[in-house]
Chain A
Amino acid sequence: MPPVSVDGFPETFRREGRIVVVGASLAGLRAAETLRAEGFRGTLTMIGDEPHEPYDRPPLSKQVLLGLVPPDHTALPRRRAIDARWRLGTAATGLDAAAKEVRLADGDTVPYDRLLIATGVRSRPWPHELESDLDGVFVLRTRDHAARLHRRLSAGPRRVLVIGAGFTGSEIASACRGRGLPVTVAERGPAPLVGALGGVIGEVAAELQRAHGVDLRCGVQVTGLEGDSGGRVRRAHFSDGSAVDADVVVVCLGATRNTEWLAGSGLGAGPRGIACDAGCRAFDVRGIVTDDVFVAGDVARSPHPLFGYQFLSLEHWGNAVAQAETAAHNMISASVDRRPHLWMPSFWSAQFGVNIKSVGVPPMADQLLVTQGSLTEHRFTAVYGHQGRVIAATTFDQGKWLEFYERQIERAAPFPPEFPTVDRRPEGRHPIAAGFPDPSLPTHGPTVTLSGHSPADRRLSFTPRRA
């Protein structure tokens, strides 16, 4: 008797199946393109809460704010036609996993055979609703946000206040200085970028900001935003008793995963994202992996063998692309043909004329060593160590060396590295504490978050007013 294959359906599924992609941004689009490229000929539905076709977000806090690129010129280049039914401007509001249906805000339901969730993240809003409703208070995540903020910056505000010095906040401050606008940056932590890169590199980021004329205030919280009689923001009050007059306030307190719509769906979805296996299949709350719901992009949490198989949440452009491609491939492949998503975390930023790049998981580190260049010159390569092995590396204007350190991480090379390099300085002889804040305190903008081993992690809550 020939073996009976439970995977026997892929050919039929490729021909006649129904795939729904929720989330029409980078991950959703690249997944759809991969599905078609790999031979999926069935029905493909793209659901997105924004009215726009997929666009690219990294330029929004850089070229768009500088006025170099109009907000509506950020559409993502298309790799191929995807022949999809688009449901743009309609948010998904619920998932019935048993009936295999996605509910939409307009009351429609869309049935699927396989579902890809790529709903990403949104900006965490200013927690006081009345204050956040003041005219002049912004967040930045979408093209519409960027268009509004750009318009306001072009009107020549007297001062911009950026609340939160993670990557987005720092890039916005950089763009404002590039336009010659006075900027105050308020950061609760001891320095910019501490959540992502630690206190040592954070100090360098602080120097950069100050050298470019930013009024940087660390270790303070904004306790209140004050409006004028016309409902326009005019002043911010800080926890140290000081205040600053500003007519534009940009709230950059990090991101929240868009998972609320999955409440009651039975999926392992929570504030840190949706847990999935290395093959991008979602876990349900019982820790059982589903076979028809896949996850990709910023909203996913997936285990990584290089980092103790902890679940990682990555807000990285490259991860969204790679995970989308893997998820799409696996959605239409038999189990033996599936691939794991084993992406090396990496990201970049451009601010104050410096190109910042990073690989690995810096927040996992306890120590750091500068192997090339010098912190004081703002041009260096820093290697992060965790329990005697290399776990991450960050470069300021030295990105061309990063490939080497990526391999050091892959090979679990010993830390501290003993070898001489083309530019190893005396300051790079001894490791120092990397200076990450207490991991039990959520920080904004870490970009990589280790979130333990539980597929149903729902414990986390973020309270920006309590340090």
Chain B
Amino acid sequence: MTSASPLRQILDPAHRADPYPLYAELRKTPVVRDGTGPYLVSTYWEIQELLHDPRVSSDARNLNPEAAAFLGQEEEDPNLPPTFLRLDPPDHDRLRDLAMRPFGPPHTPRRISDMRGELAGIVTQLIDGFRGRDHLDLVDSFAYPFPVTVICRLLGVPREDEPRFHVWADTLAAGLDPVHGTPEEREAQRETLRRARADLAAYLAGLVEERRRSPRDDMLSALATDHGPDGRMSPLEMVSTAALLLIAGHETTVNLITNGMLTLLRDPGLLRRLRDEPALAAPFVEELLRFDPPVQLLPQRTTLADIDIAGTTVPKGASLWLLLASGNRDPRRFPEPDRFLPERPDNQHLSFGSGIHTCFGAPLARLETQIALTELTRRLTGPRLAEDPPPYRRNAVLRGPRHLPVVIEGLAD
């Protein structure tokens, strides 16, 4: 790497459509200190090791001020206190356990699989909406609305309120991009974001209260009424957790579905295979996660001690950037890493992280994407890309196309 700051190159929108050559270059030095301060880790085993290292903190309050400023971290928001994503144990464990009780095993093992029918229904409805059109933006007309609707149903947001949720989700997703423009424009962006967060928090607080008084079969009701062995979340923690599920489960799934369609449309053979063998959806989505992950890197972690890794000592207090997408292409872990092989054996990619912060919503993201890609390949006839590469959003962390314009000949039933 000739540049003193590989990080700036990664963040440079010019590399957004294909950052993988940059990563390949970076892997020549598994752990490298960027000119701007943080340490970049680009190889599979080293990332894997650090994800399990108890000397690495995810608590945003441990971020050194430079790193926080670089990431454009929001000042602490009284409406939405930190969620388990940005906390260390024991707070992390308490909140994540409480959030998991109504979401997955061992307490609620069937929540996600029981949603299969509902997910398929939403997908069908969205695709039915394509009827009579030959030009589509798969992001705006499918990949965006689908996960938000799913999260609304999961949480228990009334249908009539779903449109408001879509607006907040869009605003907050846009807020994940670094702010840019003139100082006035930046302040305006921040203000819009603050207002959306406040509105969302107020809305969720009201809904939590309503569900506490008259519970239904949804996650908010369970959070509000469940008496687990470790007590309950405070109302503020419930609001924060619900907002986290909305934000974290939204943008990532949008990108995963979009990246999947982009990969399929670039390789007609692959598209045919998935159409002919829908049972391939599960391994296909795993390979997609490895090949083009929605979360490219984890930039939030801080070392609590000096850590020796791959011949480098990362000093205490350093900011760590774990390049998951690069680790997924590490030839020391995955043979022929740059090829998309749907039946790749032993596909333990890093795309959902690992260790205690392993993606909370992974089972849902997998199911959503499997259904979405299977149905899109089955029903779109003669689909092709109208633009390649498609335009990408600025965000280098949650990376994905802003639009995916495609042309179709028709629609199967």
Q: Which positions in A face B, CB cutoff 8 Å? A: 353, 371-374, 377, 379, 381, 397-398, 400-401, 403-404, 407, 419-423
Contact = CB atoms under 8 A, between A and B. Distances in A.
A407 B49 contact: yes
Interface stretch (B8-16, B88-96, B204-212): B88-96
A371 B52 contact: no
A73 B355 CA distance: 31
B22 interface: no
B115 to A, nearest CB: 23
For A374, A381, A403, the residue with the greatest tally of chain B CB atoms inside 10 Å of its CB is A403
A423 B89 contact: yes
B83 interface: no
Given A400-B355, A401-B355, A401-B356, A422 B52 contact: no
Contacts of B154: none
A379 B90 CA distance: 9
A422 B54 contact: yes
Interface in B352-373: 355-356, 358
Contacts of A403: 49, 52, 355
Interface in B78-108: 88-90, 93
Given A419-B305, A422-B304, A404 B54 contact: yes
B46 to A, nearest CB: 12
Nearest to B106: A353
Nearest to A424: B54
Contacts of A423: 54, 88-90
A420 B356 contact: no
A420 B89 contact: no
A379 B57 CA distance: 18
B305 A422 contact: no
Nearest to A350: B106
Nearest to A371: B54
B213 to A, nearest CB: 30
Contacts of A398: 89
Contacts of B140: none
B362 to A, nearest CB: 14
Given A377-B90, A400-B355, A419 B55 contact: yes
B304 A400 contact: no
Contacts of A373: 89-90
Interface residues of B, number: 19
B53 interface: yes
Q: Which of B49, B52, B56, B57 has the most CB of A within 10 A?
A: B52
Nearest to A418: B305
Interface string B110-153: 00000000000000000000000000000000000000000000
Given A401-B52, A401-B356, A403-B52, A421 B90 contact: no
Given A400-B52, A404-B52, A407-B49, A420 B305 contact: yes
B391 to A, nearest CB: 39
A404 B305 CA distance: 14
B89 A422 contact: yes
B227 to A, nearest CB: 15
Contacts of B355: 400-401, 403
Nearest to A379: B93
A371 to B, nearest CB: 7
Contacts of B59: 422
Given A373-B90, A419-B305, A420-B305, A381 B49 contact: no
Contacts of A401: 52, 54, 355-356
Nearest to B89: A423
5 contacts: A374-B90, A377-B90, A397-B93, A398-B89, A403-B52
A346 to B, nearest CB: 14
Given A381-B54, A400-B52, A401-B54, A419 B93 contact: no
A371, A398, A407, A419: residue with the most chain B Cβ atoms closer than 10 Å:
A419
B49 A372 contact: no
Contacts of B49: 403-404, 407
A401 B355 CA distance: 7
A360 to B, nearest CB: 16
Contact of B53 (A353, A381, A397, A404): A404
A82 B249 CA distance: 44
B88 A422 contact: yes
Contacts of A379: 90, 93
B304 A420 contact: yes
Q: Which 7 A-B pairs have the closest CB atoms?
A: A421-B54, A422-B88, A419-B305, A423-B89, A403-B52, A420-B304, A404-B52
Interface in B31-70: 49, 52-59
Contact of A419 (B88, B304, B356): B304
Nearest to A419: B305
Contacts of A377: 90
Nearest to B357: A400
A422 B93 contact: no
**In this complex, which of A371, A407, A421, A422 has the most chain B Cβ atoms within 10 angstroms of its Cβ?**
A422
A372 B355 CA distance: 14
